[in-house]
Structure 1
Amino acid sequence: MKSYNMFIDGKWVPASSNETIEVLNPANEEVIATVPMGTREDARKALESAREAQVTWSKLTAQRRGEYLRELANELLKEKKHLAELLTTEQGKLISMAYEEVEGTAQFISYAAESARRIQGEILYSDVEEEQIMIQRIPYGVTVGLLTWNFPLALAGRKLGNALITGNTMVLMPPLHAPLAVYELGKIIERVLPKGVINIVTGAGNVIGDELVRNPITKLVTLTGSTEIGRHIYKAAADNLTVISLELGGKAPFIVLEDADIDKAAKLAVLSGYDNCGQICTSNERMYIHKDVYDEFMEKFVAGVKQLKVGNPMDPDTNIGPKMNINELNKLVTMVDKAKEQGAKIIVGGNRLTEGEFKTGYWFEPTVITNVTNYMEIIQEETFGPIVAAMKVESFDEALQLANDCKYGLSGYIFTKNMGNIMRAMNELEVGEIYVNRRNGELINGFHAGIKLSGVGGEDGKHGLDIYSQKKTIYLNYGK
């Protein structure tokens, strides 16, 4: 068992309280490490370090900052095997997906490095003679990155890359349940970046997280997490008018119309619903299937779900690993029980696994639910687990109406060959991201953002880059 310290001002230090918390392997509940339970004092020290480092960091050219980030990405890939195995051990994701996460983290950082020459201002004509108006992009200063546990390393890379290339520094707060890969990233950062540019702290959200958000040193907070936590962050940031970017919960609708490629739609519905044990914000969680293809689609979809193998995430033949922790597991049990009470039918799975190799750990069967209404909790609330509910619809109009009748608006899917229907979905589906005839998985040069209660701001591409800088306007009068 390893014991980690926090990374503050280029040094590895324990919490000022000397308290720690255990990190468990969700596959067997074994303690694999301890990490510090930080205090408000620790958060303030990290912020002060970031503020001091930002003065020098922001004076570097963007190209020089990009050189640092390229080196960080290269060094990260040298640790790919170690980091992937650690991600699987602490989070329970399949080892193949863990390798993808490490590679994706390096891509996020490399893409940010390439953005050194993409940071653009504007020159405008003035109404005043012999004058020009210039709008510059400038850093906020100290930023805070709050990470969640489903993709902790990738989220760290996604946030720190854009923050650093635009001249900010960042304090990262990895999730208590899965902080180890981010701390290992800190060891690489220690070798590559100037001290204080990145600080890493762990602790309770209502203590160290609250301090990071409320402290006036913090100028921007970026969070990937639940809508409930996002609301807390929104309120906590209000006193200082701190800028926020929130990527929150989702309840993605998966619409299949009568002219869809049913084989493709069914296959991708399985992948989009059960990858990472359903613990992806863009997961397919509720399906609206046209009546003319409902039976054919469901037969193929259910057959695909029944072929999924639950087991050791280190085994390359496994399709679904454990849930992240006991609270997440219990939530699924409660939601399925309530759905049954309300009249829903469980046609595949629906149970916690507790026998044999599943005697320890947090295991839940891949589950398919039918006979639901759009007002059931299982349709309206994010499960964040291997559960997909399906409804038969009479028309595309009904599918759109039901899909939009939800407080979330992160992502959605549509499978059809009709360009008119695709255009209607683009214009009418109330989500920030639409997957047309494909599975989930955003790209680094796109833009990942939600609407409604799925968040504000966003990540990736040129629009994600813009979020990490603010504008300064200069009226330059060159007349005599």
Structure 2
Amino acid sequence: MFYKCFIDNEWVEASNGARLEVTNPATGEVWAEVPACTGAEVARALESSQRAQKKWMMLPPVERAAYLYRIAEGIERERDLFEDLLVKEQGKPRAEAAGEVTDTIRYMTYSAEAARRLRGDILPSDNPREQLFIYKVPYGVTLGLCAYNYPLALIGRKVAPALVTGNTMIVKPHEATPVTASVFCRIVQEAGVPPGVINMVTGTGAEVGAPLVESPVVRMITLTGSIRAGQAIARASAQNITALSLELGGSAPFIVLKDADLDKAAAACVTARFANAGQVCICSESVLVEEAVADVFTEKLLEHAAKVKLGDPATNGGMGPITTADALERVERIVAESVEGGAKVALGGKRPEGMGGGHWYEPTVLTGATPDTAAVREEIFGPVLPVVRVADYEEALRVANARPDGLSAYLWTQNPSIYMDAIQRLETGTIFLNSGITGMVQGYHNGHKLSGLGGEDGMHGIEGYLQKRTVYQAY
């Protein structure tokens, strides 16, 4: 099937007729095509977004919110279709796909509910007969660059706060998962959103992403992606001093101390690692376990990990495939380098047999790892979990904080002095204390250090789509 792009509320093909193929990661089969857009489509999307934004920002926020509610209703109405697309396009199991659809609806409705909570400040002036106001105003045209691990939720996470605050948005989905974005735009059209408020173009980073990022029309860019991608976008957009919200990668340590509930910690660690085949930016990417309980915990970890089976994502048969062939090859390289460096494969460690031509990789646990092991050093973004022994909490803290990134971390301990200390000293945007992987729309999702700038979710995330304007009014 052929799914078109969406510009100015019209369905658009590439001006030169070029197309990109979309592959089912579970089978390796091509099942859809989308336009391989060119500079002509980029220019049209930019003009449309800029033209629409002036009228859109003048609507009262509650009127903008009404469109978000209608989009949310449309997503719910087409829930089964979106679940099918997420299974087929991204490879997540049906149950996880259902959760992504629900999360997307929550992103839309939370932002809509915030329409009456957008506020500025009124401050006293130092001068007589003068008032000081600080308004919060939209940036204008924004650009949403989405990763392939959550093709629908990331659109909702970016579009909803951008629109309720008076911005327009151009969505550029990942090349591997563009079909979901096209169907989302059909819902946008059915909701009656004015032309140009949401535009969507598909294509490569070179042909589509680069000219969008470099355009002076775009005043704010929001990216979910790798550290490398964030660095490239920061460089490319620097000429225009474009505002950035970069939710980048990280390699979350799962710290287990000797007083932890080892059974619950092991179960939580396995869920956090192998959810969505390990393709979650806040997944537990490595275990830092205190030496005193390392043997016992590792045994429990392997016991739980052995229960994770591969299976057809359409039937919730088990853990699904890795989304792209390139990502699968990267996982293989990291495991090979880790083993060469002294780590041992305790579970999995290879492509499975009998799974057809898809991008499958076994749930894998590596023991004997160190902070210098490739699987610990790099963000794996796949179903591989290295286990590192540490002497105590202080060593675990040193290992975690020595990383150049800092998106999330897990800490399991019953000692309140330790976890209160960790809240102060653990250099990461999110800390899960005696908790498994989770995320709530009213929270805030951001990284420290190389893991990003700005953030998503909650009122803090919504305010990231607003800039301040100060007015001194004499009377």
TM-score (norm 1): 0.98
Cross-structure match for 1:241: 241
Deviations 1:366-413 (A, max 9, x none): 000111121122111100000011111111101101111111100000
Given that 2:335 and 2:374 are in contact with CA atoms closer than 8 Å, whether structure 1 keeps it comes out as: no
Deviations 1:44-66 (A, max 9, x none): 11011011111111110001111
Cross-structure match for 1:268: 268
Counting only pairs closer than 5 Å after superposition, residues 389-400 of structure 1 correspond to structure 2 as 389-400=386-397
Given that 2:152 and 2:181 are in contact with CA atoms closer than 8 Å, whether structure 1 keeps it comes out as: yes
Specify the code of the residue in structure 2 equivalent to 1:106: I
Cα distance between partner residues in 1 of 2:22 and 2:247: 25
Cross-structure match for 1:88: 87
Cross-structure match for 1:34: 33
Cα distance between partner residues in 2 of 1:181 and 1:325: 16
Cα distance between partner residues in 2 of 1:285 and 1:391: 11
Cα distance between partner residues in 2 of 1:105 and 1:44: 29
Q: 1:316 Cα shift?
A: 2.4
Is 2:334 aligned against 1:335? yes
Q: 1:130 Cα shift?
A: 1.0
Cross-structure match for 1:352: 351
Deviations 1:318-361 (A, max 9, x none): 1x1111111111111111111111111111111012x22x1310
Cα distance between partner residues in 2 of 1:236 and 1:394: 43
Cα distance between partner residues in 1 of 2:465 and 2:180: 24
Given that 2:93 and 2:317 are in contact with CA atoms closer than 8 Å, whether structure 1 keeps it comes out as: no
Q: 1:28 Cα shift?
A: 0.5
Cross-structure match for 1:431: 428
Cross-structure match for 1:3: 2
Deviations 1:20-52 (A, max 9, x none): 010000000111100011112211110110111
Q: 1:317 Cα shift?
A: 3.7
Structure 1 residue corresponding to 2:365, chosen from 368, 386, 390: 368
Cross-structure match for 1:283: 283
Deviations 1:100-137 (A, max 9, x none): 10110010010000010111100011010011100001
Specify the code of the residue in structure 1 equivalent to 2:326: N
Q: 1:195 Cα shift?
A: 1.2
Cross-structure match for 1:258: 258
Q: 1:302 Cα shift?
A: 0.3
Cross-structure match for 1:179: 178
Q: 1:424 Cα shift?
A: 1.2
Specify the code of the residue in structure 1 equivalent to 2:21: E
Q: Secondary structure at the match of 2:313?
A: coil
Is 2:201 aligned against 1:201? yes
Number of aligned positions between the proteins: 474
Cross-structure match for 1:69: 68
Counting only pairs closer than 5 Å after superposition, residues 399-438 of structure 1 correspond to structure 2 as 399-438=396-435
Cα distance between partner residues in 2 of 1:392 and 1:209: 42
Deviations 1:195-217 (A, max 9, x none): 11100001110221011111111
Q: 1:465 Cα shift?
A: 0.8
Cα distance between partner residues in 2 of 1:452 and 1:420: 25
Q: 1:452 Cα shift?
A: 1.1
More displaced stretch, 118-127 vs 308-317:
308-317
Specify the code of the residue in structure 2 equivalent to 1:41: A
Deviations 1:207-257 (A, max 9, x none): 210111111110000000011111110011100101011001110000011
Specify the code of the residue in structure 2 equivalent to 1:388: L
Cross-structure match for 2:49: 50
Q: Secondary structure at the match of 1:470?
A: strand
Given that 2:120 and 2:135 are in contact with CA atoms closer than 8 Å, whether structure 1 keeps it comes out as: yes
Cross-structure match for 1:18: 17
Cross-structure match for 2:324: 325
Cα distance between partner residues in 2 of 1:195 and 1:430: 43
Q: Secondary structure at the match of 1:3?
A: coil
Q: Secondary structure at the match of 2:292?
A: coil
Specify every segment of 5 or more residues in structure 2 that has no aligned partner in the other structure, as ranges: none
Specify the code of the residue in structure 2 equivalent to 1:45: R
Q: 1:314 Cα shift?
A: 1.3
4+ residue runs of structure 1 moved beyond 4 angstroms? none
Q: Secondary structure at the match of 1:152?
A: coil
Structure 2 residue corresponding to 1:383, chosen from 380, 388, 405: 380
Cα distance between partner residues in 2 of 1:284 and 1:31: 32
Specify the code of the residue in structure 2 equivalent to 1:93: K
Specify the code of the residue in structure 1 equivalent to 2:206: N
Q: Secondary structure at the match of 1:364?
A: coil
Q: 1:180 Cα shift?
A: 0.9
Q: 1:259 Cα shift?
A: 1.0
Cα distance between partner residues in 1 of 2:317 and 2:237: 45
What percent identity do the matched residue pairs reach? 43
Cα distance between partner residues in 2 of 1:375 and 1:338: 11
